[in-house]
Amino acid sequence: MPFRDLVDQRHARLLLQGALRSGRVSHAYLFVGPAGVGRFTTARAFAQALLCAEGGDDACGRCAACRKVSAAAHPDLRVISAGRTESGTERRAVGIDQIRELKREAAYGPYEGRRKVFIVEDAEAMRAEAANSLLKLVEEPPPGIVIILISESTAAMLPTLVSRSQSVRFGFIPAPEVVRVLRQQAGVPEDRATFLAALSGGRVGRALAAAAAGEDPLERRAEVLRALDVALRGDIIRLLDAAESIARRRDDIERWLDVALLWVRDVLVWQEAGDPAALANADAHAEVAAWAGRANPAALRAAAAAIEAAKADLRRNLNARLVLETLFVAMASSVPVRGRS
Ligand SMILES: [Zn+2]
């Protein structure tokens, strides 16, 4: 997919298309930013432009080289990722043998064009041995080689590898842009697109994956609201049942918490502003208004803080059921006695 069809990552686009125009392409790039905001698709677009027979600052999308890149079949584009190897064996980080293979291929040079492009995913998870081996290649690159490292942050990376690469920053995508992509690329109706975009937190890849999986975000929200309602009414027994049933779906809990947080924030926003356009759950503004009318603002703020704390606890790998029980009890106990019905 050429640059012109990508979501707008202004910094990346200016820098990479500027390099293509001037012909001053670096031999190593480091794409840094959160997952799901287009780092990999931008790397592939850059590779396509570099390999395109037409040249220029964007791929033509039509030549043989462009079509091979689109089909993931260009011999001068290699993707090295941590999740899997050629044999399909599970692997947690890009390993030394993968880097050795990369260096062997780099030494041969391009097969078809003037350049050979390597995309290395999850570069932050690379072990010292692999990173040091890659550093040698970055320090003395064979002609025509372009290496694109993709990483969530530079904190855990070898500092010399970071400083020897041209950094390209990626940020979260604004919600209206995510809505546009969901509607145009996945045909998602507007009310669902607005909610999915808010839920993705600016990670367009996550929103597209949810749309592709046929997930119905509104159905999920209805389920979350039933549990939240029980929590904010302070019914402890029913709460513990709810915690248990949610905790059973381990992969799903974070999403559950995100939906709950968006809702609680929207109810608070409505209490303060009363503006449907300011809501993530804009399609359900009547229901948001109804909650705003009966919920206590202090209890809502406590609930939002408790949900944030639960998300942090889950990231620290605490027991899911315990995290949810703690959350629900915190919510229930923050409800003032007179506010209970
Ligand atoms: Zn082309």
**93 and 180: one domain?**
no
Token code pair at residue 275: 């503006």
**15 and 145: one domain?**
yes
165 alpha carbon – ligand 1 mean position (Å): 26
134 alpha carbon – ligand 1 mean position (Å): 29
**Rounded CA separation 246/238 (Å):** 12
180 alpha carbon – ligand 1 mean position (Å): 26
**103 and 205: one domain?**
no
Q: What is the pLDDT of residues 62-83, one digit of tens each?
A: 999 999 999 999 999 999 988 6
Q: What is the CA radius of gyration of the chain?
A: 24
Candidate from 119-123, 274-278, 300-304, 322-326 with smallest mean pLDDT: 274-278
293 alpha carbon – ligand 1 mean position (Å): 58
69 alpha carbon – ligand 1 mean position (Å): 9
pLDDT above 60: residue 85: no
**Rounded CA separation 43/23 (Å):** 17
**Domain total for the chain?**
3
3 alpha carbon – ligand 1 mean position (Å): 12
Strand partners, 169: 32
Token code pair at residue 176: 């209206």
Region 256-277 average pLDDT? 90
**13 and 140: one domain?**
yes
Mean pLDDT of the chain: 88
**Rounded CA separation 49/66 (Å):** 8
Domain end call among 169, 187, 204: 169
**Rounded CA separation 53/63 (Å):** 6
Give me the residue label for tokens 């356009």: 277
Strand partners, 118: 78, 147
Domain of residue 83 covers 3-169
**120 and 14: one domain?**
yes
63 alpha carbon – ligand 1 mean position (Å): 4
Neighbours of 89 (CB within 10 A): 7
106 alpha carbon – ligand 1 mean position (Å): 22
Q: What is the pLDDT of residues 117-166, one digit of tens each?
A: 999 999 998 889 999 999 999 999 999 999 999 999 998 899 999 999 99
41 alpha carbon – ligand 1 mean position (Å): 16
**Rounded CA separation 27/9 (Å):** 21
Give me the residue label for tokens 């559950």: 256
Higher pLDDT: 227 or 234? It is: 227
pLDDT computed for residue 214 by the predictor: 78
**64 and 92: one domain?**
yes
Specify whether the backbone of 197 is left (phi greater than 0), alpha (psi in -120 to 50) or beta: alpha
Q: Band the pLDDT of 58: cuts 50, 70, 90.
A: very high
117 alpha carbon – ligand 1 mean position (Å): 15
